[in-house]
Structure 1
Amino acid sequence: MFVDKVKIYVKAGDGGNGQKAFRREKYVPMGGPAGGDGGKGGDIVFQVDEGLRTLLDFRYQKHFKAERGEHGRSKAQHGANAEDMVIKVPPGTVIIDDDTQAVIADLTRHDQRVVVARGGRGGRGNMRFATPANPAPDIAEKGEPGEERYLVLELKVMADVGLAGFPSVGKSTLLSSVSKAKPKIAAYHFTTLSPNLGVVDVGDGRSFVMADLPGLIEGAHIGAGLGHQFLRHIERTRVIVHVVDMAGTEGRNPYQDWVKINQELEQYNLRLMERPQIIAANKMDVPGAEENLAHFRENVGEQYPIYPISAATKQGVQELLYGIADLLDQIPATPLVEEIEQEERKVYKDEPVEEDTFTVRKENEIYVVEGAKIEKLFKMTDFNHYDSVQRFARILRKMGVDDELRRLGAENGDSVRIADYEFEFVE
């Protein structure tokens, strides 16, 4: 089964908790704090494996959670960092944030890696909070929560040659005749529902990867038929081989077919029109094909090479393969990848997050405080210890949360909610 789009959930590891401990050694009076820091949680990392060709594995496992860091120890021992969780994906995988629809990464090369969720840092042990005013602090942080998000993985097939054309023009028959690929072939539209890949041996020591892609129809660029599934894959091909039913067995005009498909490619992505194109005039063994080919040549002119073939009888197929291989020899394999990387540098740069910002609003009789820094601080505070609670309240005062609550009318004893917990406002 070929799977080219999945939605998954990833959760990086939480940081380990800091330790609250004191030195208790003989002959060392008032040894002071000795609680170590927690270890960092594991990151979620995607890595390209060129041996993979589909996202099928993600159909059966859709949740990925990295290990948390080890807790800090006494005697100032730091907890161990957790190992990263490395998830293998095929080349051509595009990673999209499901909430924002922003593209996180476009993975094209073997062993290329990207961190999609970062593990939380370890909480600080009480030795980190020692000051001349408080040499024996009773404070230790909890580990920072790891990032979590829903992702959409889209696979764009990495092939040298993509077969384009209307349904039932003979793309699958051509692929099966030139490679060992065995695509499903039947006399109805959309027999091919997903891409089929085949390695083509030209016969003179050269070879290339050919993709038989689902057929296009008018309106494909806006998602009609299998439009987006098809067009997503053709973006990656170095050469487009446009297969045309020159016999017009479906009652359509071959030249109009060619024009309409090119219009769909152009409206989906203008850059596709810059891609080298070869025309395979198929079904030349059917009566009427020769007359249609002559008319086709008059309209197209010399802009694109035209190869008369019959995929069923293999007539002219070898000449087509030589023509494709010669064209591939003239096209470097790297520009497309470099183009993708340039877009990656422009589009996928993380924007700085203003963590110090917060909002306070009144919801019925409860004041709700929201803000990334406040919520993170809340999760890392151990409310079982008085010193930790005092530190939490002190930081909120410095940020101006108390002043904002008073401005909105909060009085002594009113309820204040942070995350899922409620507190009393105390003057």
Structure 2
Amino acid sequence: MLSQRIFKWFSKLDDKVTTSVMSNYTNFRERKFVDQVKVKFQAGNGGNGCVSHFRDRNVLTGAPDGGDGGKGGDILLKASHHFTDLHMFKGKPIIGNNGKSGGGLGRFGKDGGDLHISVPVGTLIYEILSETQSVNQAGVRKIQYNKKFLSDLDEEGKEVLIVKGGKGGRGNQNHRSIKEQEKGTLGQVKEIFMELKCIADCGLVGFPNAGKSTFLASVSRSLPKIANYPFTTLTPLVGKVKFVDNSAFTIADIPGIIEESHQNKGLGLEFLRHIERTHVLIFMLDISGSHNEEPWKNFEILKNELLQYRSDFLDKPYIVVANKTDIEPDSQRRIKELEQKVGKKVFEISAKHGLGIGEVILELRRILQEMGKIVYY
């Protein structure tokens, strides 16, 4: 609705202006999701110390009164729910505030203020020790980093010191042996690699166009892009499910997985990191057979792809959901066959019409309560 009103308003202007402005508006809405980034951090340098002696018209060579230089500013990263990805760091080095130099008459330099930079909750921080570049047979350049783990910012408000500011140079007021100006030390410089892993209680796994985004939109206030073609979802999205007793849990939706995704087919398994931290998996299967496979075969393919990514992925509890039962006349036979192959109950739903969704949500809540993962607000 908002985009339609904007276009209607701009349609009164010149056609070239309208096209230009609307293309920029569209580009803004479709901004690329950034979940991995390399950033250079440089802390502030310390200020110089001062060598000075008190003088006035009556005193020609007075006592030393040179002040110390100020300390350089540190740079810290802090977890915040106000950000969803790392696009703000793309190609931008972060430079801290320098300390001010000391002066005569005992004037000390001002310290450089510390920088507290917010990042999304769930960001992993690594220091890059070295990097190597290689080119595969397709001519694609790949960069590999030798990294040192620094911190996991998995809680709101959690903070970590990245680089420390330089010390200020000493002045001769408090250090009378100093005869020449002492320079402040340089601030630390580090190459940092940041990787975002979304934090959610439940993770949706399924083939493209299986109805994962429709399900998420039905149970939360999330607004994913929904369309009748594969790979509509290109970036991870988290929605919150709230109950009348003020309890809640979150569900993460990621781009669809296809067979041989571990060989980088489709969108690969790159986005599976965003459901690594989940407590429960939701296998969303299209019961209508639009993927030209029996649902149980799709389930086996999904399980295999998850195990190719991490061998312990299926150690966590999971439920199986059969979607699109409203358009499949033979859904009962398919679901019974699926239950026999899976060995557990299969939940029948129609995410588009909201049928059977309540039962799925209550089952997820029951599992999370048993694990002690339900949050009350």
TM-score bracket, normalised by the shorter chain, equals 0.7 to 0.9
- Specify whether residues 203 and 223 from structure 1 end up closer, same or farther in structure 2 by C-alpha distance, changes over 3 A only: farther
Q: Supply the distance in 2 between the matched residues of 1:190 and 1:68 (Cα, whole angstroms).
A: 47
Q: What is residue 287 of structure 1 aligned with on the other side?
A: 329
Residues 1:38 and 2:69 aligned together: yes
Correspondences of 1:80-91 after superposition (within 5 Å): 80-91=110-121
Q: Supply the distance in 1 between the matched residues of 2:264 and 2:123 (Cα, whole angstroms).
A: 20
Counterpart among 88, 91, 94 of residue 64 in structure 1: 94
**Do the aligned residues in 1 keep the contact of 2:46 with 2:98 (CA within 8 Å)?**
yes
1:330-366 deviations in Å (ceiling 9; x for gaps):
12339xxxxxxxxxxxxxxxxxxxxxxxxxxxxxxxx
| 2:118 alignment partner, SS class | strand
Counterpart among 139, 148, 154 of residue 102 in structure 1: 148
Q: What is residue 343 of structure 1 aligned with on the other side?
A: none
- Which amino acid is 1:297 matched to? E
Counterpart among 51, 62, 71 of residue 20 in structure 1: 51
Residues 1:296 and 2:338 aligned together: yes
**Do the aligned residues in 2 keep the contact of 1:216 with 1:230 (CA within 8 Å)?**
no
Counterpart among 163, 175, 185 of residue 226 in structure 2: 185
Q: Supply the distance in 2 between the matched residues of 1:221 and 1:146 (Cα, whole angstroms).
A: 42
1:202-238 deviations in Å (ceiling 9; x for gaps):
5665432222211112344464432343211011222
Q: Supply the distance in 1 between the matched residues of 2:313 and 2:52 (Cα, whole angstroms).
A: 64
Count of equivalent residues: 326
TM-score, with length taken from structure 1: 0.69
| Residue 128 of structure 1: how far off its partner (Å) | 6.7
Residues 1:272 and 2:313 aligned together: yes
Q: What is residue 48 of structure 1 aligned with on the other side?
A: 79
| 2:66 alignment partner, SS class | coil
| 2:157 alignment partner, SS class | coil
| 1:183 alignment partner, SS class | coil
Q: Supply the distance in 2 between the matched residues of 1:84 and 1:187 (Cα, whole angstroms).
A: 49
Q: Supply the distance in 1 between the matched residues of 2:158 and 2:203 (Cα, whole angstroms).
A: 24
Structure 1: give runs of 5+ residues left out of the alignment: 335-427
Between 1:37-46 and 1:145-154, the stretch displaced more is 145-154
- Which amino acid is 2:342 matched to? V
Residues 1:319 and 2:359 aligned together: yes
Q: Supply the distance in 2 between the matched residues of 1:283 and 1:142 (Cα, whole angstroms).
A: 71
Counterpart among 290, 303, 314 of residue 249 in structure 1: 290
Identity of aligned residues (%): 38
**Do the aligned residues in 2 keep the contact of 1:221 with 1:231 (CA within 8 Å)?**
no
| Residue 17 of structure 1: how far off its partner (Å) | 0.8
Q: What is residue 122 of structure 1 aligned with on the other side?
A: 168
Between 1:121-130 and 1:141-150, the stretch displaced more is 121-130
| 1:20 alignment partner, SS class | coil
Correspondences of 1:159-238 after superposition (within 5 Å): 159-202=200-243, 206-221=247-262, 223-238=264-279
TM-score, with length taken from structure 2: 0.78
1:6-54 deviations in Å (ceiling 9; x for gaps):
3333221011111122344788896554433211100111111223323
Structure 2: give runs of 5+ residues left out of the alignment: 1-30, 131-145
| Residue 114 of structure 1: how far off its partner (Å) | 0.6
| 1:255 alignment partner, SS class | helix
Q: Supply the distance in 2 between the matched residues of 1:231 and 1:314 (Cα, whole angstroms).
A: 27
| Residue 248 of structure 1: how far off its partner (Å) | 1.8
- Which amino acid is 1:253 matched to? E
Q: What is residue 122 of structure 2 aligned with on the other side?
A: 92
Q: What is residue 15 of structure 2 aligned with on the other side?
A: none
**Do the aligned residues in 1 keep the contact of 2:66 with 2:173 (CA within 8 Å)?**
yes
Q: Which has the larger radius of gyration?
A: 1
**Do the aligned residues in 2 keep the contact of 1:202 with 1:322 (CA within 8 Å)?**
no
| Residue 129 of structure 1: how far off its partner (Å) | 6.1
Q: Supply the distance in 2 between the matched residues of 1:24 and 1:205 (Cα, whole angstroms).
A: 71
Q: Supply the distance in 2 between the matched residues of 1:31 and 1:267 (Cα, whole angstroms).
A: 77
| Residue 277 of structure 1: how far off its partner (Å) | 0.9
- Which amino acid is 1:87 matched to? I
Q: What is residue 40 of structure 2 aligned with on the other side?
A: 9
| Residue 77 of structure 1: how far off its partner (Å) | 4.2
Counterpart among 172, 175, 180 of residue 139 in structure 1: 180
Q: Supply the distance in 2 between the matched residues of 1:139 and 1:127 (Cα, whole angstroms).
A: 13
| Residue 117 of structure 1: how far off its partner (Å) | 1.3
Between 1:148-157 and 1:249-258, the stretch displaced more is 148-157
**Do the aligned residues in 1 keep the contact of 2:53 with 2:62 (CA within 8 Å)?**
yes
Between 1:74-83 and 1:189-198, the stretch displaced more is 74-83
Q: Supply the distance in 1 between the matched residues of 2:152 and 2:109 (Cα, whole angstroms).
A: 34
- Specify whether residues 271 and 21 from structure 1 end up closer, same or farther in structure 2 by C-alpha distance, changes over 3 A only: farther
**Do the aligned residues in 2 keep the contact of 1:92 with 1:107 (CA within 8 Å)?**
yes
Q: What is residue 331 of structure 1 aligned with on the other side?
A: 371
